[in-house]
Each structure stands twice: as structure tokens, then as C-alpha cells.
Amino acid sequence: MTLPTTTSLGPAIRWEARGAERRLGLPLLTVLLLALTALRVGALFLSPSELGFDEAQYWAWSRHLAFGYFTKPPLTAWVIAAETAVCGDGAACVRAASPIAHMASALLLYGLGTRLYDRTTGFWSALFYALMPGVAVSSVLMTTDVFLLFFWSAALLVLAADLRAPRAATALGFGLLVGIGLYAKYAMIYLPVLAMLYGLATPGARRVVFRPAFLGGLLVAVAIAVPNLWWNATHHFATFEHTGDNIGWSLSRLNWRKGFEFLGSQFGVAGPIVFGAMVNAFLFRARTEATGADRLLLWFSVPIVLAITIQGFLSQANANWAATAYPAGVVLATALMLRSPTRFFAVANLAIGLLVAAILVVGTAVYDPAGASGPLVQLRQLSGWKTTAANLEQVARQVGARRLVLQGRALTAGLLHPLRRSHLDIRAYLAAGDQPTDQFQLDRPWRDGDSSQDTLIFGIGRDAAERLNAVPIATIDAPIYSARDGRMTVYRLSEDASAPAAPGG
């Protein structure tokens, strides 16, 4: 894809001459985003899918609010606690805040595009963000990226205002938003780091970024993060350690394929037109008439993609790890599209976004992930938990068990949600001598030597069962992603090996 470098308003003037500035304003944008969000929320309430284990983990955390959890900061759990208190704790209610938060992020990017370019750019930036493939997928799931992107977009808008007209209020507001954003995901730290680098590299911004008010704002961010830092300090820095494990840089793990796979996946996350425009701006210096705005947006997008690509080469990188590149990236890409001599890129991007959004809305509403196979097999993580939980409860009732021990974070999280109203005391298996590796092993461990009276254990292999003197008592239907043939063995931690009839055959 090639977008030309422009040095004058050119085609953008022609858009405005047709009244685009008057028509494409905030009222119309709000109506369109509300309609899209209503469709996404409606699809969630029609969906046959269940919570995936990561989503169920956040829900489980929301039952016990804290300033930190083992693998992530706490904001996602706090939001789930608030929305489920109003809506209920079904899967749709757990996820409902996602499309709403993305709509709010889109509105913030309208402000950013309008401030840096014009209202037409702001309008299409917001719409293109809401229709990005990655956002379309994220809008029907509960992930930490949802709230990270909201606070990132808000902080970026405030930063742009501060760079143009420095004030104490905007400097402190930037720090406030960064501090809260750190409670969503630690990737929020990229934003102040990039702001400092941008200041060092840009003479006109240097005096703004390094003035006392702005540095005071960064101290506000640190102060807000103190409760989470304290939680980590009192829990052996569990979240930081987990984050470090995810990074895992090592030359011995150098893998060119993974790095290029991550880079290729970004055409799917942002959409081929948006990401192609970002590549064009970075490699081929495509620019609009507002070169200062282009430079600002490049600084807050491309370095993130480059850093995570290096991460992919040296260890691993999930496709969503560069999500914070796209609030700035989509505004830059939109500005270039609108100033192209042809409308092809803008129209093509809109068409791709609408198609993906429609497929996701309809698919969410009607597709049962239980039958997923082939390239969609990962969707099986969103099904089978209720059936497995019901069969476990049946076995527990037949043998009079009151405790269920589960092995592994994914299995524990995935079953906690459908078993939320059961009589069973759910515990996470922690082998003798091991340290906790997830929140469940921290909060609700069952260790070798703990009471095994009236206790079932599920998810362990034969070797572990022998070590624990666990007796197989049933094989149940367990149509979850991790069960190869859809069946799993239930063990009893007692001398009574009388086996009930296995549910489901």
C-alpha cells in the first residue's frame, strides 16, 4: 500500500467543501457509535458462549477486591465487580463493559484527531478505531486491554493538549490518567516513557515535557500506583515476576519466525489499510500538511510495534501486546487516508471494518463455539465449562464430596464461574514444595497433606494421582478445550473407591 506524501491541504479541502466538516461531527458520530455498541451488547446477551478461563479468572478476582492480583493489576476485576453488582454475574454481564469502554475510547480519539488535524479526521479516526478488527474482537470479550486503551486514549488526548498549550491542569491530568491506567495493565508505562523520549528528540516539546508541572504529574502517577506497589511488595512482587516471565528475553530463544509472525499479525489486529498506512509513514515518510502532528503520532505508535517485534524475536509476543500503538496509529493512518488523491484507502478500510464488525456481531450472537474446529479451534475455550461443572457436581453428590481440588490456573478459573452456586469448596492444587504460580494457589490452595476427607480432585494425570493415593471413581463428559477426547477422570482422595455411574455415560 502506498499513500502519497502531501504538503498542502489538497484533497482534504475538497472533502470540507462538500460540507463534511458540518455533517461529520460529534452528534452523528455518537449516534453511529451508540448503534454499533448496542449491537455488540445485544449480541453478548444472545451469545451461547461461556466465559473463557482468562475472563473467568477476572470474574473470580472481582469476588474478592484487592489492590493487586498475581498476574495482573486489579482494575478489570474492579469493573467486573461494579457491573455484575448491577447486571448479574452471567457471561454477558461480565463482558458488557467492553464494547461500552471501546465506544468511549473512540470518542476520545475523535477529540485527538480533531485537535491535531480537523473534525473530519477526528470523525473518521473514531469510526475506524471502533471498526478495527482487534477492537471488534475485544468488544465481545473481557480483557485487560479494554480499559488500558481507554486510559491510554484519554492520556494521549490530554498530552496533546498540554503540548499545544502547557498548563498545570493538563500536566497533572496526564499523570492522573497514567496512574489509573497502570491499574488496567502495566503496559501503560510505555506512555510516559515515550513522552520523555519524544521530549528529548523534539526541541519544541522538550521544555514542555521537562518542566516542573509535567514532572509533578508523573509523580502523581507514581503516587496513585503506590497501593498496587505495596500489594506487590507484600506478595513477593508476584505480578512483576509474572510480567518478567512473560518477557523472558534470551538470545538462546532467538526465533525469527515468531518475530515476523507477530509483525504479520498486526495487519489483522489494526486492519491492512491502517497498519499499511503506519508502515508507509514510518518507512517511506508519508506525511500530511500537519507534519508536527504526524511526528507526534509516529512517536506514540511505531516504537511500540518495534519493541514488541523485538520481544517476539527474543522470546514470544502475543498479537495484542502492541494494542497501545493503535490509538495514535489509527489517527495518523486516518489523516493520511483522507489526504490521499483517491478515496480508495478510506473506503476500503471502512468496508473491511464494517464486514469484520458484522461477522463478529452475528457470530457472537449465534455461533456455538462448542463445535469449533480447524482455524477456529481456539474458540473452544469459550464452551464446555457448564457441562463439565454439572457432571462434577453430579459425581460429588453421589459420593457425598464437599471439596473439589482442581489442577492448573486455566481449569480452576474456567470451572469456578459455572460452579459459583454449587455447595463445593473449590481449591487449587499446590504440589509439595512448590510456590504459588497463580492467584488461586495463593488464595485457596490445597497442599499435599491437607485434609482429604470428602474431597475430589480433577485435572491431574495418572502419576500425580498415584503420588496422592487418589482413586479414580468416574470418567465424565468434559467437552473443554484441554480434554483431547472430551472426557476426563475424576479422582477421590480417600480410601473409599466405590464408583458411581459416570455422568454422560
Cβ atoms of residues 498 and 399 within 8 Å: yes
Length of the chain: 505
**pLDDT of amino acid 5:** 39
405 bridge partner residues? 427, 457
Summarize pLDDT for 80-97 with one digit per residue, the tens.
999 999 999 999 999 999
Cell triple for 152: 491510554
pLDDT at 73: 95
Q: What is the pLDDT of residue 20?
A: 57
Q: Which three cell numbers stand for residue 166?
A: 502547557
Looking at residue 502, what DSSP letter applies? P
Res 14: pLDDT: 39
* Rounded Cα distance, 62 and 504, in Å: 32
The confidence score (pLDDT) of residue 505 equals 46
* Cα(135)–Cα(309) distance, integer angstroms: 20
Q: Which amino acid is at 149?
A: L
Pairwise CA distance, residues 322 & 309, whole Å: 9
Residue type, 296: L
Neighbours of 58 (CB within 10 A): 24
Mean pLDDT rounded to a whole number for the chain? 90
Contact 6, 108 (CB under 8 A): no
Q: Residue ranges of the domains in the chain?
A: 11-366, 384-492
> What was the pLDDT predicted at 496?
45
Q: What is the pLDDT of residue 287?
A: 95
Q: Are 482 and 384 in contact (CB under 8 A)?
A: no
* pTM as predicted: 0.91
pLDDT for the residue 21:
61
Q: Which residues of the chain have pLDDT under 50?
A: 1-18, 496-502, 505
Question: What is residue 377's predicted lDDT score, i.e. its pLDDT?
Answer: 86
CB 298 within 8 A of CB 202: no
Q: What is the CA radius of gyration of the chain?
A: 25
5 burial class (0-12, 13-18, 19+ CB within 10 angstroms)? Answer: middle
Q: What is the rounded CA–CA span in Å between residue 322 and residue 188?
A: 11
**Integer Cα distance of 333 and 331 in angstroms:** 5
Q: How far apart are CA 193 and CA 94, in angstroms?
A: 32
pLDDT (0 to 100) of residue 449: 83
Chain segment 439-460, per-residue pLDDT in tens: 999 999 999 888 889 999 999 9
**Which SS3 state, helix, strand or coil, does residue 456 take?**
strand
